[in-house]
Amino acid sequence: MKSRLGNFTFDALVGVYISAASEIYKLAISLVYSACEESPVKHFILGLADISLRLILSSCLRESAIGVYFVSIPCGTSPTEASPPHWSLLLISFSIRITPNSLPIFESISTRIMKWLLLILALPWVTALTATADSYEVGNEPAKAVDGNTSTFWHSEYSPTLVPLPHWAIIDIGASTLINGFTYLPRQDGNSNGNIGQHTIEVSLDKVTWTLVANATYDDDDSLKETGFPSVQTRYIRITGITEAGNRGPWSSAAEFNINLAPTSTTLGQWGPVIAFPLVPAGAFMLYGSGKILTFSSYKTDNYGGTGLTFTATYDPSTGIVSEKTVTNTQHDMFCPGMSLDANGRAVITGGDDADKTSIYDPSTNSWIAGPGMKIARGYQASATLSDGRIFTIGGSWSGGYGGKNGEIYDPTANTWSLLPGCPVAPMLTNDSAGIFRQDNHGWLFGWKNGYVFQAGPSKAMNWYGTSGNGSQTAAGNRASDTDSINGNAVMYDAVNGKIATFGGAPDYQEAYATNNVHLITIGTPGTTPTVSTLTSMSFARAFANAVVLPNGEIFVTGGQTYAVPFTDTNAILTPELWDPTTQTFTTLPPHTLPRNYHSVALLMTDGRVFTGGGGLCGTCGTNHEDGQIYSPAYLFNSSGALATRPVISSINSTSIAVGGTFTVTTNTAVTSFSIIRFGSATHTVDTDQRRIILTPTATSGTTYTFVLPSDAGVALPGYWMVFVLNAAGVPSLATTVKITI
């Protein structure tokens, strides 16, 4: 059997028996008594577990058999009523996966080696959910959508009166509660009639004034649907079904409605709820101006391998709404492409399933246009925007034929592609056991000074590529003692000083163990050998992870597997870690909800949070993640756990600044540090667009600060950047967007 308590799911393995100690009674009743005084929920479930010596306590708790005592104690029970007759006691053995961040841990340690670990779970057990609806069929009342029984369901009335759409249901939590999500389970009896399609979700404290938190469309199947939104205090949730998902009739139905309680710990940052997407976001890029995130999959929402079209979905952080669009006019399945943001903020997406195609998205017109075909058909190539605004690409034997994927360059002004025969792909090949099909994939490319490109990986051999004339190539040595590191990450976190940090990867694309290797590459004059340092390793080996630079220069590394196997979630790492460039050490962070492996993405948002999403895109494989999740770093919270007050950029004297130009920033309060970060794009672990520049004021007058941009366009690449200011506590402002021109 399977039971769900709060956010924890337990798989029951064996029998039931009663056991407890008087000391545990007294401790438990005190905890419950205090919790009832402060919580709106009607009951608390207290779990007490002991774990044998076989349990290994390391950075996380591995799976093990655990005995758990479940105690249901009515609120109002006095601490003096600490004897068993007042309790309902049940012990079940379970197989459970726990991380230290999931549960409060109290350790009982004797003078000998630790023998037992006591886990005390204080899980809210919400028994007060009630439901009403606009109508119901007799026998299918709204209460059956909150009864915890998946075999019963609510259904809108169809006899004797067929009540038309839209249909609504209101769930009453019983008291004001902090929530960050809503779940909907369609009926489970094999009949799809009434599956909710397009819908809205609203919240209210008084059932009079309603606030919209979601407007989306559910797929027409019987899987659990999860809708996330920013944490909100509410008592009532109203879901309104606007359409029936299969257009079978004017009905709505539900086996179960439920809520997600919002987490409150913010010491190491906090994950928001899972956000439902209508597709697997295997690629994504930021839209300047709006801060929206445009994601895409392939010719299908959950599979790849087609031609002629691409499904896209755009997430608006300001509203929580995800809007859909199918791109057909470019006749391009953009799955597995190269991708770069050009000097005007346009996303130039090349190759992939339709291997010679170029599609260009222009945020200023919210439109897609077909670009010229590449000279060499490619898939899994990388590309990079250059100091002169052109875009360089190389590699990509996954599609369009094997081998010979030498460099070529796109000129946005002339709208043409040109071959660069002096930029051979051979020097940057890995030694992947799958051969050339995998050896030239996902290059770590960085546009640099004088039109050069630095290739930092994933091969252990590094190279410089020149793009003038017919192009050129110069070997840049090996990345210290690192292996080939396909599906690892490389981030330029300090562009002025040429600092690039690299993380993980594996020697082969698949069926290979990942590494936890970390290296610091410092580049300077093009064509010269960079310096490479081997740094403290990550806490976890990772391939298929993503890495994002934050306004303070720290790098957030998330997702991935210890053993790389595409389209699987085995050996997934749910615990992200944060690299500090000053100490060059890592801090492990709270785990995310779902695996983020092959075909996942991550991007810095304009509010300093990090968007992650995707993984899978393999049809019926069972590991498709049509969703996203947002991480709020610890710098967004104060010591009490509440949101910190941000400094505010009141004005910037110009939003278009030439390389080497001067500009001023005025804030509402004193600030102490400044950075600009280029808008990012991400697919297949590669983001060649993101880079960070540390700004130092040349003059200060009150809260007005004067800056001079770097004078080299290879450092301050042309395009759109986010300007952040941070106060003495390290809290970042919302970003203001500026365009750097040449």
Task: Identify which has the larger pLDDT, 83 or 628.
Answer: 628
Q: Report, as an integer, the average pLDDT of 590-594.
A: 90
- Which has the minimum average pLDDT: 65-74, 458-467, 515-524? 65-74
Strands 627-632 and 275-276: antiparallel
CA distance linking residue 711 with residue 386, whole number of Å: 15
- Please answer whether residues 589 and 576 qualify as being in contact, where contact means their C-beta atoms are separated by less than 8 angstroms: yes
Q: How many helices (H) and strands (E) does the chain have?
A: 2, 56
pLDDT above 90 covers a percentage of the chain that reads: 76
Which residues does residue 370 pair with via DSSP β-bridges, in sequence order?
359
User: Is residue 439 within a helix (H) or strand (E), and if so which, with residue range?
Assistant: helix 436-439
Q: Report, as an integer, the average pLDDT of 240-260.
A: 96
Q: Report, as an integer, the average pLDDT of 659-672.
A: 98
Q: Report, as an integer, the average pLDDT of 360-367.
A: 97
pLDDT 10s digits, 466-499: 999 999 999 999 999 999 999 999 999 999 999 9
**Which of the four pLDDT bands, split at 50, 70 and 90, describes residue 193?**
very high
Q: Max alpha carbon distance in the chain (Å)?
A: 88
CA angle 38, 43, 47 (to 5 degrees): 100
**Which of the four pLDDT bands, split at 50, 70 and 90, describes residue 6?**
very low
pLDDT on residue 263: 74
Smallest Cα–Cα separation from 49: which of 22, 67, 27, 62?
A: 67
Whether 598 is catalytic is yes
Name residue 119's amino acid: L
The answer, yes or no, to whether residue 10 has pLDDT greater than 80, is no
pLDDT on residue 113: 31
The answer, yes or no, to whether residue 432 has pLDDT greater than 90, is yes
Task: Identify which has the larger pLDDT, 224 or 437.
Answer: 437
pLDDT on residue 704: 98
pLDDT on residue 219: 84
Smallest Cα–Cα separation from 278: which of 296, 254, 290?
A: 296
pLDDT on residue 593: 86
pLDDT on residue 742: 93
pLDDT on residue 464: 98
277: which residues sit within 8 A by CB, 6+ positions away? 295, 313, 315, 322, 613, 626, 627, 628
The answer, yes or no, to whether residue 344 has pLDDT greater than 80, is yes
CA angle 639, 553, 632 (to 5 degrees): 45
- Please answer whether residues 302 and 364 qualify as being in contact, where contact means their C-beta atoms are separated by less than 8 angstroms: no
| Phi, then psi, of 417 in degrees rounded to 5 | -105, 145
CA distance linking residue 422 with residue 406, whole number of Å: 8
| Domain ranges (residues) in the chain | 2-125, 130-262, 275-468+483-636, 649-741
Q: From the candidates 69, 299, 598, 635, give the one annotated as an active-site residue.
A: 598
DSSP at 34? H
Q: Report, as an integer, the average pLDDT of 500-520.
A: 98
- Please answer whether residues 455 and 381 qualify as being in contact, where contact means their C-beta atoms are separated by less than 8 angstroms: no
pLDDT 10s digits, 680-734: 999 999 999 999 999 999 999 999 999 999 999 999 999 999 999 999 999 999 9
Q: Report, as an integer, the average pLDDT of 449-469.
A: 98
pLDDT 10s digits, 622-662: 899 999 999 999 999 998 888 999 999 999 999 999 999 99
pLDDT on residue 261: 85
DSSP at 413? T
CATH code for the structural domain at 275-468+483-636: 2.130.10.80
Please give the model's pTM, rounded to 2 decimal places: 0.76
CATH topology of domain 130-262: Jelly Rolls (2.60.120)
Which residues does residue 359 pair with via DSSP β-bridges, in sequence order?
349, 370
Same fold, 275-468+483-636 and 649-741: no
**Which of the four pLDDT bands, split at 50, 70 and 90, describes residue 74?**
very low
In b/e form, how buried is each residue of 365-404, taking b as 16+ CB within 10 angstroms? eeebeebebbebbbbbbbbbbbbbbbbbbbbbbbbbeeee
pLDDT on residue 66: 34
As to burial, measured by CB atoms within 10 angstroms (0-12 exposed, 13-18 middle, 19+ buried), residue 289 is middle
pLDDT on residue 19: 34
Task: Identify which has the larger pLDDT, 267 or 617.
Answer: 617
Q: Report, as an integer, the average pLDDT of 358-368.
A: 97
Smallest Cα–Cα separation from 293: which of 572, 548, 574, 594?
A: 548
pLDDT on residue 229: 79
Strands 656-658 and 736-741: parallel
CA distance readout (Å), 659 to 94, 446, 462, 711: 61, 18, 28, 5
Superfamily name and number for 649-741: Immunoglobulins (2.60.40.10)
pLDDT on residue 232: 85
pLDDT on residue 524: 98
Provide the phi-psi class of 352: left if phi over 0, else alpha when psi is between -120 and 50, else beta: left
